[in-house]
Amino acid sequence: MNSSKFRPLVILASITTIGLTGCGSIESAAQDDCTSIGWQIGSKGYNDCFKARVYERKLDYSLPPGDKPSPSVI
């Protein structure tokens, strides 16, 4: 394969990989929240905190009631 055609593909793949590794999951963010305030993983308080944080984050990332995604123009 010609290196001039291969280079943009490698650059795009690298940028995509870096971008996706920067995004954590909702669960890992909730775990970080609960452990940062001192809860020990596995304790009742941690489990309650974790469930509450996951619920809150899912609400943050969900669409408002009645809002339907519109098709992309692209």
Domain membership of residue 54 (yes or no) is: yes
Domain membership of residue 70 (yes or no) is: no
Q: What is the pLDDT along the chain (74 residues), one digit of tens a residue?
A: 555 666 666 666 656 555 545 456 889 999 999 999 999 999 999 999 999 999 998 888 777 777 666 666 76
Domain membership of residue 28 (yes or no) is: yes
* Residues ≥6 apart with Cβ < 8 Å to 41: 31, 35
In angstroms, rounded to a whole number, what is the distance separating the alpha carbons of residues 68 and 66?
Answer: 6
- The number of domains in the chain is 1
- Which residues constitute the domain of residue 47? 24-63
Domain membership of residue 6 (yes or no) is: no
Tokens read off for 9: 């593909």
In angstroms, rounded to a whole number, what is the distance separating the alpha carbons of residues 64 and 61?
Answer: 9
